Amino acid sequence: MLVCDGITSDGVEPLVKLEGVELIFGKLEDIEHPENIQGIMVRSATKVTEEVLEKLPGLQIVARAGVGVDNIDINAATSRGVLVVNAPEGNTISTAEHTWAMMMSLVRNIPQANQSVKQGEWNRKKYTGQELYQKTLGIIGMGRIGSELAKRAKSFSMNVLVFDPYFSAEKQKELSVTSVDLDTLIQQSDIMTVHTPLTNDTRKLLNYDNLKHAKKGAFVLNCARGGIIDEEALLHYLDSDHLSGCALDVFEQEPPVSRSLIDHPNVIVTPHIAASTVQAQKNVAYMASDEIKSYLLNQPLKHA
């Protein structure tokens, strides 16, 4: 079993004592006999493409220690009979907390003010921020992470609008949020945050056409997947001062090649670390290992 992307031994505990399982920690390209690999565990860095699958003829299972499976060619894996499993629950809290930290940093200019003081400046007026209190937060995607974010927003006395075609009326009531269509959410939100997977339906979900209807001065966050928001459109509306700022943990290309958004003074960024906490990484590796263990022992799978 090949364990990639810096996943550590304490996370793969369910597999450590399993008879017949040898764990190899490292990179696929360093493996001497890839033909002997029967299972592989990855985060997002390793791309399990058709070519990679080609090099692993003995592969039976790919386990994603995390939520997004967009780094795995599922069709290619399925057509070869390779099972793909993930661990969608392990990093929910960390991702919601990071999004919250980004939101507060964004509206209070914390990264910019921090940088300025460290450079010897003392400019209190320049870094005047905004309160979250009684602002409207628009959450696009009300899965686990979106729902956790809604709870935090309510405790800050924010109004919460949500857009998610699969969100139940019961859940809406439980979280005291209001379901609206995407256009209404864009038009009425002071802050918008996306929490969907990246699929053909969600690619460029926020784009030139709909972001022009955003409130003047709105803020936008993406701590989900690069590509859900059109980066060129974001830059356009930031440059024209229609949007006040944006916070990005993820990019269309990672690491990003274009510097235009990153270098923009009203954009704050982190390097796809929303799920990078000690707790979340242990959780996702543990849950992915558990799925592999169930597969090897012919037991029912939770997230295949």
Cα 302 to Cα 190: distance, rounded to the nearest angstrom: 38
* H-helix or E-strand spanning residue 83: strand 83-86
Instruction: List Cβ neighbours of 293 (8 Å cut-off, separation of 6 or more).
Output: 14, 15, 18, 299
Choose, from 43, 252, 272, 291, the residue flagged as catalytic.
Answer: 272
Instruction: Kindly state the smallest distance separating residue 194's Cβ from ligand MLT, in Å.
Output: 13
Cα 254 to Cα 257: distance, rounded to the nearest angstrom: 8
Q: Which residue has the tokens 């974001």?
A: 234
Residue 91 as a binder of ligand MLT (CB under 6 A): the answer is yes
Q: Work out the angle at residue 93's Cα, subtended by the Cα atoms of residues 27 and 189, and round it to the nearest 5 degrees.
A: 115
The residue from 66, 138, 226, 227 that contacts ligand MLT (CB under 6 A) is 66
Query: How many residues can be counted in the chain?
Result: 304
List binders of ligand MLT among 256-295 (CB under 6 A): 275
Alpha-carbon dihedral 118, 269, 67, 4, rounded to 10 degrees:
-70
225 is catalytic: yes
Residue 224 vs 243, nearer CB to ligand MLT: 224
Choose, from 13, 254, 264, 303, the residue flagged as catalytic.
Answer: 254
Residue 44 vs 202, nearer CB to ligand MLT: 44
Instruction: Kindly state the smallest distance separating residue 229's Cβ from ligand MLT, in Å.
Output: 15
Instruction: Kindly state the smallest distance separating residue 252's Cβ from ligand MLT, in Å.
Output: 14
272 is catalytic: yes
Chain residue at closest Cβ approach to ligand MLT: 66
The residue from 3, 43, 105, 289 that contacts ligand MLT (CB under 6 A) is 43
Interior/surface letters 265-283, b for 16+ CB within 10 angstroms, e for the rest: ebbbbbebebbbbeebbbb
For ligand MLT, how many residues bind (rule: CB under 6 A)? 7
Residue 135 vs 272, nearer CB to ligand MLT: 272
Active site positions, annotated: 225, 254, 272
List residues near ligand MLT by CB under 6 A: 43-44, 66-68, 91, 275
